[in-house]
Amino acid sequence: MASLAEGIVIRPVCFQDAAALWAIARQEGVIENTMALPSLRLEQRMKSLTDLSEDDHYMVAEKAGEVVGLAGLTVGKGRLRHSGHIFVYVAAANQGQGIGTRLVQTLLDLADQWLLLRRVELTVLTENEEAKRLYEHLGFVVEGCRKMSVISRGEIKDEWLMARYR
């Protein structure tokens, strides 16, 4: 039996990925669950990639040579150095294929085996049950609800704050 994410290559992001990531972030089925705005310009996406620091670890997923997802881990500074924050998004046409899982697993391996992080956290809209289930499957637990946290499509929505501890 073939795995859902078969044929997926996970690799570090590069500047040449900017246009593909810009297009994915603006897709219906993606944008409403991220912090991107419809007005995000390609030049802004390009600048965000050139401005990544040594504490920003971004990975892309490729399927048949095409970028289909992005996940990032940002390590905390100072007294938060033991923790990190992650995000992930996958192109609408490629959701439900295990790509998000592979991306997050790659970042968690980096956090555990290379950065020795003790805590990894994320937020997810309370209405995004599929993403919440994915994170719970990977060991995240709900720590609380951030009320009126994010504006999306004309509404102010709540988010779950989730974390995984080691």
User: pLDDT-derived band of residue 4, with 50, 70 and 90 as boundaries?
Assistant: low
Q: Is the pLDDT of residue 76 over 70?
A: yes
User: pLDDT-derived band of residue 48, with 50, 70 and 90 as boundaries?
Assistant: very high
User: pLDDT-derived band of residue 19, with 50, 70 and 90 as boundaries?
Assistant: very high
User: pLDDT-derived band of residue 95, with 50, 70 and 90 as boundaries?
Assistant: very high
Q: Find the Cα–Cα–Cα–Cα dihedral 99, 101, 107, 109, rounded to 10°.
A: -120
Q: Give 4's contacts (C-beta < 8 A, 6+ positions apart).
A: 96, 97, 98
Residues 12-18 have a mean pLDDT of: 96
Contact 91, 104 (CB under 8 A): no
Q: Is the pLDDT of residue 116 over 80?
A: yes
Q: Is the pLDDT of residue 1 over 60?
A: no
Q: Map out the domains of the chain with their CATH numbers.
A: 8-165 (3.40.630.30)
Share above pLDDT 90 across residues of the chain, in percent, rounded to a whole number: 86
User: pLDDT-derived band of residue 38, with 50, 70 and 90 as boundaries?
Assistant: confident
Task: Using the Cα atoms of residue 8, residue 53, residue 112 and residue 104 in order, give the sign of their dihedral.
Answer: negative
Q: What is the mean pLDDT of the chain?
A: 94
